[in-house]
Amino acid sequence: NIIYLVSFQQTLNSNNTTYTMKIAAALACFLLSAGQSAAFVAPSRSASPAAVLFATPIESNDNLNNKSNDAVTSRRALLSKTLATTTASLLLLPTLAANADDDATSASATAPTVVVAGATGQTGRRILERLAALPNTSVVAGVRNVEKAEKALSESSTVVRGAMVQKVPSLDAAGVELRKLDVSGTTESMTSALAGAQSLVIAVGFVPGNPLKMTAAAHEVDNVGTCKLIDAAKAAGVKKVVMVSSILTNGRAWGQAKSPGFVVTNAFGQVLDEKIVAENYLRASGMDYTIVRPGGLKAKPPTGDLKISGEDTLNSGEISRDLVADVCVASLTDPKASNKVLEIIENEDEPKVFNGLNM
């Protein structure tokens, strides 16, 4: 009788290394000594996707009667060598598996962690999406309410910001950790939320609503709350901060206080005056920073090329939130953006616009 032996290979997915255990060779050696015939075959793929077919069957001693003793000795020596190799592989396999697990754990431990504050906002969620697609990056969404944020990020919606109605797409946030991070909270609570982070993207901003409360809301979020968040980042050991602000935040300093863009935007809670306070606070923090000042924000995909200008140079123009997110993510690691203010718009032909208004 011919006894068929099956050989399998075990795969350690952590480092995609495959170890083939030739246990069948040991059994074959035993069977040959008992005068049996043995052959190596593989099962069907339905039985095991990791099955391996060994080439030629191994002949029994009965079929070697007409061959020289040297050939028999050679064959037995080959089997013995295979058996020795197999035994060594079996002994080493647990160690190799442990090392592979250690490597995976080490890679996870060294992956940089980036926190996005304001992750449920229209710009924040776009930044979150791009970061989540990066390899070897741990991404944390800083949100006011974790339960509500889980739902908000997974659904598309329509929101009203000031005089504009904009659609918000859903987001696949698989692999993103959600943490409570509320700029109206204490500095200590925000420090805890930023634990372990190397970088922070600040994409918070008050949402215009009740006209009687807009000034207080802008002061609380875009000024006081953001400054507390900067303090928390420094206390948590964050090395890099990217802040989303706006063009014309410093408009008063370069003669733009009466420009249409400044007047219209600042009418919403004096928000530009509040944002410049937080900008200056970040600059004085001692942390590496990039302040991104976009023009009027559009929910639609970009229709023009990205234009990056120097500090206090742009007083009009609009830009897709998609491009703003791209610039923020790039600024986290691009040394050219270190300790810089970047004013950005889409480089389009006339007419010039800002926050939906023709200028």
Rounded Cα distance, 79 and 23, in Å: 11
Tokens in use for 314?
A: 């742009």
Identify whether the C-beta of residue 183 lies closer than 8 Å to the C-beta of residue 228.
Answer: yes
The share of the chain scoring above pLDDT 90, in percent, equals: 57
E runs forming strands in the chain: 2-12, 17-20, 37-41, 51-52, 113-117, 138-143, 157-161, 164-168, 177-180, 199-202, 240-244, 288-294, 296-298, 305-309, 318-320, 340-347, 353-354, 357-358
pTM: 0.67
- Amino acid of residue 297: L
Per-residue pLDDT of 52-110, as tens digits, reads: 223 333 333 444 344 445 544 454 454 444 444 444 444 444 444 445 455 444 444 57
Tell me which H or E stretch contains 234. Answer: helix 226-236
* Best-predicted range by mean pLDDT (10-14, 17-21, 259-263): 259-263
Tokens in use for 28?
A: 């074959």
Per-residue pLDDT of 63-76, as tens digits, reads: 434 444 554 445 44
Per-residue pLDDT of 189-238, as tens digits, reads: 999 999 999 999 999 999 988 899 999 999 999 999 999 999 999 999 99
Q: Among 131, 138, 139, which residue's Cα sits nearest to residue 107? A: 138
Rounded Cα distance, 342 and 289, in Å: 11
Per-residue pLDDT of 114-163, as tens digits, reads: 999 999 999 999 999 999 999 999 999 999 999 999 888 877 654 444 44
